Structure 1
Amino acid sequence: MVKAVAVQTFGGPEGLEVIDLPVPAPAGGQVLVGVEAIGVGGVDVVIRRGALAAYGFAEGHILGGEVAGTVTAVGDGVDTSWVGRRVWAFTGTGGGYVEQAIAPVEEILPLPANLSAVDAVTLGSSGIVAHFGLSHAHFAPGESVLVRGAAGSIGIMTVQLAARGGAGAVAVTTSSAERGDRLRALGATHVLGRAGEGGEDAPAGYDVIIDVVAGADLPSFFARLNPNGRMVVVGAVGGQPPADFGTKMMAAFQKSMSFATFSAATVTEADRRTVRAEQFAAAGRGELETVVHEVLPLEHAALAHQKMDAGEVFGRIVLTP
């Protein structure tokens, strides 16, 4: 048997329970990974709350989408040379909060020797969303960028990539001066409050807004877009925006603003693999910083979610079996 964490009851973190499962066996095209590290993502929190139940997520669901560890077995049609190799693996929309995880072979990537399993799951998904989110916004060097909800792993990576990409300004929204200082060290040039207020000498408007939060306040940020500005929502940790949020855009019709959502599911596997390998190599060389808030045992998954709900997390919480 192996330990896993399932959402036995939708709602608060107390609905997470440690359960026993039979040791999984990889089917054709799959690998079995002996898990060393599990990334706790914002989507895990949204699923746990039951907000995505209408999309097929039911109670009993095992959370987690990314793990890192060592391949211990492979299914039919998979090269046996994978056995014994350290890999990052994407398990899908669940199945990651486990001691041994199943993943499709096309969704695994070898780890550089100088990158830990903990760092891999801190960067693996968030780096891809940050990279392609900026690309989806058609970000160009010299443009100003606002990252809304910058203290999470996606926001932190977006700040670093925008700064490395030659942004004219990188503003962030965050909840405290201390977090602002940490984000400045990662490349932010202006620190704003959660509502986008403050920030000495901050730009009056932005060419690109990358929004990890969504929620009720999303429409107010349209006013912070420059003419021809683009807002891309890459997460919804704050919940759904108001049903009529588009009226704010229509009120500023002459600014020619654009609004889009972005999911990494729309990026080809080959492109994700290429960029992820580049980012892993950059992190191994110290050119990208992986920010780990805390490492907790797998059985403390509920505590990890309590910290996420309380807004205490800067970077990523990682679970270890």
Structure 2
Amino acid sequence: MHAVVLREFGPAQNLRYETVPDPEPGPGQVRIAVRAAGVHFIETVMRAGAASDLAPPLPELPAIFGGEVAGVVDAVGPGVDGSWLGRSVVTGSGTPGGYAELAVAAVEQVHPLPDGLGFQDAVAMVVTGATAVGLLDIARLTADDVVLVTSAAGGVGRLVVQHALAVGATVVGAAGGAAKADAVRKLGAEAVDYREDGWDDAVRELLGGEQRPVTVVLDGVGGPLAAAAFELIGEGGRFVSIGYASQVAFTPPPGPVAYVDALRALLNRPQDRPGYEGRALAAGARGELVPAVQSFPLSHAAEVHAALERRETTGKVVLVP
């Protein structure tokens, strides 16, 4: 099969499109003919060889990244019911990774594709969507909230914006660049470009000044951007961290604003993950949460990693063999 292989940690160009042996499913596993494979930002950090407390341990090399896989079961291992053959499925735990034409996964970690959900959308929802569902459980947004979402054009950010609007909250999305801000506006939210000086003042202006402060920040960026967003929260509000794409964590000072590290809370509850995955896939099939997907050929994985690092992508990035 063809796969994208990392043989040495380092820059994006170290990802090479190669021919490797086909994987065989072991006991309790199915093999999936991959139709779509998700790319996660944290994989760019791991590819570079950097350790992160929000990432799995670095893999042994050579490695094939990409646990998010959707496709059709073409083989089953010992102990697996033959009825899985030919079924369209999705998993967040493919091994070797989904940057390949074939991947294997434990059958108990595989979800049948719900009716109405395509392969690419399923890949977007099984991990990114599940993360959004878990974060929203923690954030507990209501119609009374005034919500600021940073990285609002990203995979998780777009889903969070959709949910916040659906519950009736007032929503402002901060995104990097005019095109990304326009994408957030098309969802129905107000939007600002955080690359522009004074973006935080623009948020205040959109909300009518100091009389209507932000009640909840959902931050996926960290660093100076998160610090500026924190200053927009009114007394009694809450700052919910949903990651830090900048690779610089931000922890608010003690005070009248509640701080919740929602992503870390999710990572500490792996037993909840299957339920979040199922809920996210169902929400995607019903059209309640609609992911934005950018798809690229599998052979372009190196270019895709470089674009992710430059923050040039929007929504969920997917590789297609």
Q: Which runs of 4+ in 1 moved over 6 A?
A: none
The reply on whether 1:297 has 2:312 as its aligned counterpart is: no
Q: What amino acid is aligned across from residue 263 of structure 2 in structure 1?
A: F
Contact 1:216 1:239 in 2 (8 A): no
The reply on whether 1:140 has 2:145 as its aligned counterpart is: no
TM superposition shift of 1:93: 8.7
* Cα displacement string for residues 97-145 of structure 1 (whole angstroms, at most 9, x for unaligned residues): 1111111222221123432212221233222111211211232332121
The reply on whether 1:229 has 2:233 as its aligned counterpart is: no
Contact 1:130 1:161 in 2 (8 A): no
Q: 2:168 and 2:186 mapped to 1: Cα distance?
A: 16
Unaligned stretches of 5+ residues in structure 1: none
| Inter-CA distance 126–10: structure 2 relative to 1 (3 Å threshold) | same
The answer to which of 16-25 and 203-212 deviates more is 203-212
**Which residue of the partner structure matches residue 45 of structure 2?**
46
Q: 2:105 and 2:159 mapped to 1: Cα distance?
A: 25
* Cα displacement string for residues 261-304 of structure 1 (whole angstroms, at most 9, x for unaligned residues): 41544252442243123223223xxx4333123x2211110111
Q: What is the aligned residue count?
A: 308
The reply on whether 1:278 has 2:282 as its aligned counterpart is: yes
* Cα displacement string for residues 150-183 of structure 1 (whole angstroms, at most 9, x for unaligned residues): 121111111111111221x111111233322221
Unaligned stretches of 5+ residues in structure 2: none
Q: Percent identity?
A: 34
TM superposition shift of 1:308: 1.2
The reply on whether 1:179 has 2:180 as its aligned counterpart is: yes
Q: What amino acid is aligned across from residue 26 of structure 1 in structure 2?
A: P
TM-score scaled to structure 1, two decimals?
Answer: 0.86
Q: Aligned runs of 1:25-44 on 2, under 5 Å?
A: 25-44=24-43
**Which residue of the partner structure matches residue 257 of structure 1?**
258
Match of 2:214 among 206, 211, 214: 206
Contact 1:173 1:196 in 2 (8 A): no
Contact 1:71 1:84 in 2 (8 A): yes
Q: Aligned runs of 1:158-173 on 2, under 5 Å?
A: 158-167=160-169, 169-173=170-174
Contact 1:136 1:262 in 2 (8 A): no
The reply on whether 1:218 has 2:206 as its aligned counterpart is: no
TM superposition shift of 1:52: 2.1
Q: What amino acid is aligned across from residue 279 of structure 1 in structure 2?
A: A
- Secondary structure at the aligned position of 1:124 is classed as helix
Contact 2:175 2:191 in 1 (8 A): no
* Cα displacement string for residues 175-234 of structure 1 (whole angstroms, at most 9, x for unaligned residues): 233322221221313435256441342365322222222245433433222323222222
Contact 1:34 1:100 in 2 (8 A): yes
TM superposition shift of 1:37: 0.7
